Amino acid sequence: MIRIGDAPRVRRLLIGTALTLTALFLLLPLVAIFAQALMSGIDVYWQNLSSVYTLSAIGLTLLVAAITVPVNLVFGVFLAWLVTRFDFPGRRLLQTLIDIPFAVSPVVAGLVYLLLYGRNGWLGGWLDAHDIQIMFAWPGIVLVTLFVTCPFVARELIPLMQTQGSREEEAAVTLGASGWTIFRRVTLPNIRHALLYGVILTNARAVGEFGAVSVVAGAIRGQTNTLPLQVEQLYQDYNTVGAFTSASLLALLALLTLAAKAALEWRAARRETAT
Amino acid sequence: MSIRISQIDKRYGQTRALEPIDLDIHDGELIGLLGPSGSGKTTLLRIVAGLEQADGGSIHFGDRDVTRVHVRDRRIGFVFQHYALFRHMTVFDNVAFGLTAMPRSRRPSSGEIRSRVMQLLEMVRLQDFARRFPAQLSGGQQQRVSLARALALKPDVLLLDEPFGALDAKVRQELRRWLRHLHEELHFTSLFVTHDQEEALELSDRVVVMSNGRVEQIATPDTLYRHPANQFVFEFLGDVNRLEGDVEAEVLTCGDARVAVPGVENGRQELLLRPHEIRLGEQPDACAHLPVSVTAVVPVGAEVRLELEADWLGEPWLATISHAEFERLDVKRGKRLFAQPSRLHRFDTPRPQTLAPLATS
């Protein structure tokens, strides 16, 4: 059988193009980030990294991820379980609603939260009266990040749980297992790879989110700047090296995430071939 | 443990999945639920298990009313069509699941669990496979694991949903015989679903034939085959040939075919007969003049299957004859013969009727 692209010349051309484009569009920018960050030497890099503002941005970013990831992990599993294991009126609607954060631009999401919780917002007056500040403080940042990242886990789990069906859980219940035992010993082990993958994606987005966060954060240096906001602000201040230093941290996180994902996929593939 | 099902019914939205159904199963009985897909047999089984809720009626296990009892407290064993083994657990852990999932206060010690599981695996002849994963076993082996798992808690009632449906014919045969054996040995009450009439007839003490959410007949395999309650049961339990024609003076005519039908009133009539109720001869006899030609010859096992066609037949007939008969008549494709029905069945009368038009043998 002759396939398109079987001729050696065509094949070399196609592979060459793909590799060149990958290098140009994906690899080069990544290298550029680290090159720029280290332009003035390792000492300056280290100085930038250990500045109070950068450290605070790192801290806030980690805090946001530390809250967002577990909350959305639980929420995502709950949602996927609900949608795939029960039939109730509004199930399809719920499945569509899950995708809203994907469909809406993050900036719009940020604005909506501002409208709701801001000083002149619907709930803002009440919050203000009770001296609770959500906007322009870390709770607001966490809220919008939760919104933006909430579909990731559920989206990973729903197709998998749909194809797996509920037969194993039914078998477990006929054997007298309680709901929690079934979840812990039957459901969870079957979905753990997809779940981890969902968590990795959630984490990546929580750390890297810019649009929604920039609307509600208010850009108070050293207080409400996450790493992406910090990058932008430093760049606006013509502190290119500083901006790229923070950017290199984000890039590093991205690389770690990718490595974790690859490791998971590799392990899953090895399990497949083992059985 | 006996099972008493009374007035169980079930709807899915507008469609009625089960008409109110009554069924009494005696202690230690092996009952087959037989029917085409969509007949409600699986729904009934799942309601007995508690995996589905009936809209009305009640279910008793012995004296215990289990209608409102949760699945996990019904003490049933359930075997699924596609095994539903826990894919990430070894065979051992699968069988042990019911025991290890018990609350700590009632759970046997790990030593006891170990010996019980090994004993079960020995019973299903899989003791060497304890450390394997389900995906490393054949279909028949997986189904045996699933049986062992269902029996681990010594259930009062064993329910099986098309247990051998996904297996090939030879393995199915073997597992059937083995289940029959196991049933006689352990004496649990069991209810199984199948769409395979041979399986139902071979395994069951009694068969419940269902269609469209209704029970058509409940009877022993023998009675079911010899005295089907209606045309549905007759047609579902084996191959059927049809003969349709006008009856006048106890003779049915259809084109150039004629056959004596003693006791049948005048008018358009439909009669049915099984493949083995057709005899073949070189000449017509006094009672039957049914010219046919042979269009296919298939020797299977102890008999030869023939496909017969004629202009007076709407759809071809299937006849089975012995090898001796086959040789005597020198049957070949295209050969013209005369059919002589040894029996004819009628179901359009209030009670099913069987007539024997053969005067001479």
Q: Where residue B152 sits, what CATH number does that domain have?
A: 3.40.50.300
Domain of B44, in residue numbers: 3-236
Q: B210 and B289 in one domain?
A: no
Q: B267 and B140 in one domain?
A: no
Chain B residues whose CB is inside 8 A of the A175 CB are 72, 97-98, 101, 149-150, 152-153
Nearest chain B Cα distance for residue A174, angstroms? 5
Q: Measured in Å, how far apart are chain A's first and last C-alpha atoms?
A: 32
Residue B288 in this model has a pLDDT that exceeds 70: yes
What torsion do the CA atoms of B189, B190, B191, B193 make, to the nearest 10 degrees? -170
Q: B226 and B84 in one domain?
A: yes
Q: B81 and B199 in one domain?
A: yes
Give me the percent of chain B exceeding a pLDDT of 70. Answer: 99
B88 contacts: CB under 8 Å, gap ≥ 6 = A189, A190, B133
The Cα B216–Cα B352 span in angstroms is: 14
B189-194 and B206-211 beta bridge pairing: unpaired
Among B213, B236, B259, which residue terminates a domain? Answer: B236
Among B169, B201, B236, which residue terminates a domain? Answer: B236
What does the pLDDT read at residue B174?
85
Instruction: Look at residue B191 and tell me if it is in a domain.
Output: yes
Q: B316 and B267 in one domain?
A: yes
Instruction: Look at residue B212 and tell me if it is in a domain.
Output: yes
Sign of the Cα torsion B251, B253, B258, B259 reads: negative
* Type of residue found at B279: R
CB distance from A273 to chain B under 8 Å?
no
Residue A226 tokens read as 């996450």
B3-12 and B15-25 beta bridge pairing: antiparallel
Residue A207 tokens read as 């750390």
Q: How many separate helices (H) and strands (E) can be counted in chain A? A: 16, 0
Chain A residues whose CB is inside 8 A of the B143 CB are none
The Cα B297–Cα B306 span in angstroms is: 5
User: Nearest residue of A to residue B137 by CA position?
Assistant: A275
Q: Residue holding tokens 């259930």?
A: B155
User: Nearest residue of B to residue A190 by CA position?
Assistant: B88
Residue B312 in this model has a pLDDT that exceeds 70: yes
pLDDT tens-digit readout, B86-120? 999 999 999 999 999 999 999 999 999 999 999 99
Of A176, A189, A190, the CB nearest to B101: A176
Instruction: Look at residue B361 and tell me if it is in a domain.
Output: no
What does the pLDDT read at residue A132?
83
Residue B179 tokens read as 């289940």
Q: Rounded to the nearest 5°, which phi and psi values hold at B215?
A: -90, 120
What does the pLDDT read at residue B5?
95
Contact indicator for A249, A148 with CB cutoff of 8 Å: no
Q: B230 and B246 in one domain?
A: no
The Cα A182–Cα A196 span in angstroms is: 19
Instruction: Look at residue B360 and tell me if it is in a domain.
Output: no
Residue B357 in this model has a pLDDT that exceeds 90: no
Angular region, B270: left φ>0, alpha ψ -120 to 50, beta rest: beta
Provide the 3-class DSSP secondary structure of residue B341.
strand
Which residue in B181, B165, B218, B189 sits closest to B33, CA to CA? B218
Cβ contact, residue pair B101, A189, below 8 Å: no
**Helices assigned H by DSSP within B152-273:** 169-186, 197-203, 221-226, 231-236
What does the pLDDT read at residue B260?
87
Chain B residues whose CB is inside 8 A of the A275 CB are 133, 135-136
Contact indicator for B141, B129 with CB cutoff of 8 Å: yes
Radius of gyration, alpha carbons of chain B: 25
Cβ contact, residue pair B78, A168, below 8 Å: no
Cβ contact, residue pair B150, A174, below 8 Å: yes
**Is B195 exposed, middle or buried, given 0-12, 13-18 or 19+ CB atoms closer than 10 A?**
middle
User: Nearest residue of A to residue B149 by CA position?
Assistant: A175
**Helices assigned H by DSSP within B187-296:** 197-203, 221-226, 231-236
Q: Which of A59-73, A189-203, A257-271 has the highest mean pLDDT?
A: A59-73
pLDDT tens-digit readout, A116-138? 888 787 888 888 888 888 888 89
CB atoms within 10 A of CB B117: 25
C-alpha dist (Å) from residue A144 to A76, A77, A79, A95, A152: 16, 20, 19, 20, 14
How many domains does chain B divide into?
A: 2
Of B80, B86, B102, the CB nearest to A176: B102
Contact indicator for A128, A121 with CB cutoff of 8 Å: no
Residue B182 in this model has a pLDDT that exceeds 90: no
Up-side HSE of residue B126: CA atoms within 13 Å toward CB? 28
Cβ contact, residue pair B97, A185, below 8 Å: yes
Chain B residues whose CB is inside 8 A of the A177 CB are 72, 97-98, 101
Q: B196 and B114 in one domain?
A: yes
Nearest chain B Cα distance for residue A199, angstroms? 21
CB atoms within 10 A of CB A214: 22
What does the pLDDT read at residue B193?
95
- What CATH code is carried by the domain that includes residue B289? 2.40.50.100
Chain B residues whose CB is inside 8 A of the A174 CB are 49, 51, 71-72, 76-78, 150
Q: Measured in Å, how far apart are chain B's first and last C-alpha atoms?
A: 50
Chain A residues whose CB is inside 8 A of the B51 CB are 170, 173-174
User: Nearest residue of B to residue A175 by CA position?
Assistant: B98
Among B217, B236, B255, which residue terminates a domain? Answer: B236
What does the pLDDT read at residue B360?
44
What does the pLDDT read at residue A133?
83
Cβ contact, residue pair B78, A177, below 8 Å: no
Q: B245 and B227 in one domain?
A: no
Chain B residues whose CB is inside 8 A of the A185 CB are 86, 97, 101
ipTM exceeds 0.90? no
CB burial string B286-324: b at 16+ within 10 A, e below: ebbbbbbebeeeeeeeebbbbbbebebbeeebbbbbeee
Q: B276 and B328 in one domain?
A: yes
B30-34 and B189-194 beta bridge pairing: parallel
The Cα B141–Cα B92 span in angstroms is: 13
Q: B296 and B227 in one domain?
A: no
Cβ contact, residue pair B98, A167, below 8 Å: no
pTM for the full predicted model: 0.81
Of A168, A175, A178, the CB nearest to B98: A175
User: Nearest residue of B to residue A192 by CA position?
Assistant: B88
Instruction: Look at residue B48 and tell me if it is in a domain.
Output: yes
Cβ contact, residue pair A167, B84, below 8 Å: yes
Q: B199 and B259 in one domain?
A: no
How many residue pairs from chains A and B have C-beta atoms closer than 8 A? 63
pLDDT tens-digit readout, B228-277? 999 999 999 888 999 988 998 888 898 888 898 888 888 898 899 999 99
Residue A2 in this model has a pLDDT that exceeds 70: no
Average pLDDT over residues A261-275: 75
Residue A24 tokens read as 């140009």
The Cα A85–Cα A63 span in angstroms is: 33
Up-side HSE of residue A33: CA atoms within 13 Å toward CB? 16
Q: B263 and B222 in one domain?
A: no
Cβ contact, residue pair B84, A178, below 8 Å: no
Cβ contact, residue pair B85, A168, below 8 Å: yes
Give me the percent of chain B exceeding a pLDDT of 90. Answer: 62
Interface test with A, best of B83, B85, B97 (most A CBs within 10 A): B97
